[in-house]
Chains A and B, each alone.
Chain A
Amino acid sequence: MKKKTRRDFLKTSALIGTAVASSSLHPAKAGPKNILSPDRMGVLVDTTVCVGCRSCEWACKVAHGRSTQPLAEYEDRSVYQTSRRPDHESVTVVNEHRQEESNGTPVYTKVQCMHCDHPSCVSACIVGAFTKEENGSVVWDTNKCIGCRYCMVACPFQIPAFEFGEALRPDVVKCDFCFSRTQEGKLPACVEMCPVEALTYGPRTELIKVARERIRRAPEKYVHHIYGETEAGGTSWMYLASRDFAGLGLPNVGTHAMPGTSESIQHGIFAYFIPPVLLYAMLGGVMWVTRRGKESEHEELK
């Protein structure tokens, strides 16, 4: 870089400027599908109705072609001694929450992906392997995933599971809201199976009305809150319960859409590549000015 003249510098800088500008005039429509349809579907889980039979767990495994014990063995209640989380084998599990002070009936909470309206996983995934579909399902694409597990870091409900024991092609596993079944017009497997109709499938807006109506009719039976209506910016799966949700394994995640802050920072930094290009130009300017300073210094020395 010793023999470079100022003219060279300007010429090359201008060339680069044009190249960058022309490429940023047409920003690629990058990113995964993230549809927030007003007609998206959801499920209302009424935990006051659930009897903890776990047949939804069985139906889920059958519908996803996974090996499972016979349905009769799901009646074994000893599993309730420990609190379980969805993992790479079972994407939905039911937990029992006993009341310690009163000897009221235990509450059963089904756990699975909440299918957020503003999913962190969709926003975070480095390759856009997650998609929020028009019907509300958040689904994962095995052909894109690189196994970085950033979705697991991002998810406020700690849902995606990873096949840590798989050496060659580990999957990220989570509930897909029976996307292929609902496309064929069928119900999600767990909803179809539930013998006591604790799960109601329908348009999310309708479900909120149904939930409010249930609370209105039996205000003494319910906590006056629909978990999932506003949690993390709203979720497709929503819960009704007779007790405080925090004691039922449903964490207080606030009402902000989780990707909000990070996305506004990202978009601020990359507003049509303007800030990086400005920084580039500024540094180029500094380089040019200080170089002039050095050149005149050298001339004086001569």
Chain B
Amino acid sequence: MNSVHKPQPMTKGFFTPGVIVLLVLAVNGLGFLLGRFLFGIGSVTNLSNQYPWGIWIAIDVAAGVALAAGGFTTAALGHVMHREEYHIVVRPALLTAMLGYTFAALAVCIDLGRWYYIWHPLIMWNGTSALFEVGMCVMIYMMVLYIEFLPIVAERFIGRITLKGVFARLNKPLEALLRALDRGLSKTMFIFIIAGVVLSTLHQSSLGTLMIIAGPKVHPLWQTPILPLLFLLSAVSVGYPMVIFESMIASRSFGLKPEMDVLSRLGSFMAPLLSIYLAFKIGDMVIRESFMYLTEVNTASVMFTIEIVVGVAIPLRMFLSEVVVRSRLWLFVASCLVVFGVLLNRINTFVVAYNPPYAVKAYFPSIGEISVTVGFVSILVLLYRFYVRTFAVISIAKVTPAARAKYAIRGGRS
């Protein structure tokens, strides 16, 4: 296949005013994190015996894993179904997933009271625990993501390893290792790609199973036996909007033209995906008659309404419109709404809906919790920037007139 688009490292400088702001936020978050390790979880969070889980679990872990779903949805589209026109979004989505899962795992780690025992689930199994399944799947999937990323690393360094001094003698073995890895992986990669999709469907749904055991402690607007299905459907729905969202931001930041052609095609998947999610969400509400909780005005009913209307219904209507899907601005807005909707859904399910029987006062995240979460997101964005400058992740269209013409005639096939 002669590709018009070729992934290549970005060349624009690392530092911009935005990057400086992110660095400040990152350092601030790390400061509070140090407090957590020196003085305990209670010293920087508002967590208590009433509210054992806060935004570190709701946002960093649950929402983080959901928003990294682009990794497996694009892999399914590009590699499993061999829709090659989508290959240019697979690498950015893979990088997002890899960084997203790494940070979700780090967030779990800092939230654990005994973080140094994070390896315990590997040898101490509890098959009845949804959390055990999530933990194992996430751990294995993270390995799979690293393996999927390895060829990109090999591609960058093969023939370019020039260590100096005492390390010079390592150049040849390293080179051989990279080549062997690259060759071995190119033959076996399909195993990991399918495994990645299977593992993702398993743990995306099991994240929903997590709150089922809390029973009546979770508000009936969210507590339902089909929570795992809803979590899976919403994760699948948020995969492409997240890819669109990032692709547009990256294009803007690096001064590229967004790949509207591919992004619009991704956008056209959204209406069916969101409809399925919304249908299950509303169907569940009708069957369990939980809509009666919407008649009273309180935090739960307001948050639920925002989640459904702003986060699902409005973007669904937008994606149905051809004008929106073709427009750079509106496609971006609609994608942002879906991302917001899923983020809010995870916060709602894990924090807003959680009503312990003996709550003394309601939970609201502390400055420390917010700082750490914001800091983690900042570091993630900075790492993304570092990676796309080091490795060939983002594809750039070659601007030769001939290629342009071919591109247009072939109907946008890249």
CA of A150 to CA of B205, assembled, Å: 17
Q: Is the CB of A169 within 8 A of B114?
A: yes
Does A2 lie at the interface of the complex (its beta carbon under 8 Å from any beta carbon of B)?
Answer: yes
Is B216 an interface residue when CB atoms closer than 8 A count as contact? Answer: yes
Query: Contact between B127 and A150 (Cβ–Cβ < 8 Å)?
Result: no
Chain A: residues with Cβ within 8 Å of the partner, total of 74
8 A Cβ contacts from A110-162 to B? 120, 122-129, 144-150, 152-154, 156-158, 160-162
Q: Is the interface of A mostly helix, strand, loop or mixed?
A: loop
- Chain B residues within 8 Å of chain A by Cβ, number: 71
B206 near A269 with CB under 8 A, answer: yes
CB distance from B232 to the nearest CB of A (A): 11
Query: Is B298 located at the chain interface by the 8 A CB criterion?
Result: no
Task: Tell me which residues across on chain A come within 8 A of B108, comparing CB atoms.
Answer: 148
| A283 contacts across to B, CB distance below 8 A | 76, 80, 194, 197-198
> Contact: B186 with A150, CB < 8 Å?
no
A262-B126 in contact (CB<8A):
no
| Interchain CA distance A85-B43 in the complex, whole Å | 21
Question: Which residues of A from 30 to 76 have beta carbons under 8 Å from B?
Answer: 30-32
Which residues of chain B are near A258, meaning CB under 8 Å? 213, 215
Find chain A residues with CB under 8 A from B42 CB.
164-165
A265 to B226, CA, bound (A): 9
Interface set, chain B 158-201, CB cutoff 8 A to A: 186-191, 193-195, 197-198, 201
Q: In the bound complex, what is the Cα–Cα distance between A67 and B216 (angstroms)?
A: 36
CA distance A265 to B189 in the complex (A): 31
Tell me if B64 is interfacial: C-beta within 8 Å of chain A.
no
CB distance from A298 to the nearest CB of B (A): 8
**In this assembly, does A293 line the interface, its C-beta being within 8 Å of a C-beta of chain B?**
yes
Give, as a whole number of angstroms, the nearest-CB distance from A139 to chain B.
15
Give CA–CA (A253, B124) in the complex, Å. Answer: 30
Tell me whether A146 and B133 are in contact (CB under 8 A).
no
Complex contact A124–B112 (CB within 8 A): no
Answer yes or no: A196 CB below 8 A from chain B CBs.
no
User: In A1-17, which residues have CB < 8 Å from any B CB?
Assistant: 1-4, 8-9, 12-13, 16
Q: Does B39 contact A (CB under 8 A)?
A: yes
**Which residue in B40, B49, B117 is a CB contact (below 8 Å) of A152?**
B49
Query: In the complex, A232 Cα to B113 Cα: how many Å?
Result: 28
Which of A199-207, A218-226, A235-243, A284-292 sits within the interface? A284-292
Contact of B130 with A by CB under 8 A: yes
Which residues of B approach A to under 8 Å, CB–CB? 37-43, 45, 47-50, 52-53, 76, 79-82, 84, 108, 111-115, 117-118, 120-121, 124-133, 135, 186-191, 193-195, 197-198, 201-202, 205-206, 209-217, 225, 228, 354, 356-358
Q: Could you list 8 A-B pairs, sorted by A, with CB under 8 Å?
A: A12-B188, A30-B127, A124-B128, A129-B124, A150-B210, A156-B357, A172-B113, A266-B209
Residue numbers of A with Cβ under 8 A of B are 1-4, 8-9, 12-13, 16, 28, 30-32, 83, 85, 87, 120, 122-129, 144-150, 152-154, 156-158, 160-167, 169-170, 172, 249, 251, 253-254, 256, 258-259, 261-263, 265-266, 269-270, 276, 279-280, 283-284, 286-287, 290-291, 293-294
- Given A9-B190, A147-B115, A162-B49, 17 more contacts at CB 8 Å? A1-B187, A1-B189, A4-B186, A31-B127, A120-B215, A127-B132, A147-B112, A147-B113, A148-B131, A153-B210, A162-B52, A266-B209, A269-B206, A280-B195, A287-B80, A291-B82, A294-B84
Closest 10 CB pairs of A and B: A147-B113, A164-B42, A30-B125, A152-B52, A149-B52, A128-B126, A170-B113, A290-B82, A127-B124, A147-B114
